[in-house]
Amino acid sequence: METLSELAYIPVYWSNDFMSKRLLSLCISACLVTATAANAATFMSDDAEKYSTLADALNGVWDSSEGLVSVSTNYAHSGTKSYRISFPANEAVAYLNFRLPSGKRHIFVRWWEMRERAGDFAGAQNYDWSAEKTLRLRSSTIGSTGIDYVLGWEADSGQRGTSGTDGPGDMVIFGNSAATDDSEHIRVRPAISRGQWNMIEMELDLGTTGNRDGLTRLWVNDKLIGEATGLSLLPVGTSTVDQIWVGGWYSGLSPNPAPASRYVDDVVIADQKIGGVAQIAPAPPSGVVAQ
Q: Which of the residue ranges 74-83, 111-120, 158-167, 185-194 would you say has the lowest mean pLDDT?
A: 158-167
Distance between CA atoms of 181 and 216, rounded to whole angstroms?
12
Query: What mean pLDDT comes out for the span 232-259?
Result: 88
CB atoms within 10 A of CB 242: 19
pLDDT of residue 23: 42
Higher per-residue confidence, 150 vs 11 = 150
pLDDT of residue 168: 66
pLDDT of residue 216: 97
Distance between CA atoms of 219 and 108, rounded to whole angstroms?
11
Question: What residue type is 192 in one-letter code?
Answer: I
Q: Which CATH architecture has domain 43-270?
A: Sandwich (2.60)
Distance between CA atoms of 50 and 57, rounded to whole angstroms?
8
Average pLDDT, the chain: 81
**Contact predicate 138/145, CB 8 Å:** no
CA distances in angstroms from 132 to 140, 240, 287, 291, listed in the order given: 21, 24, 30, 22
Query: Taking the model in full, what pTM does it have?
Result: 0.81
Hey, is 222 helix, strand or coil? coil
DSSP tag of 211: S
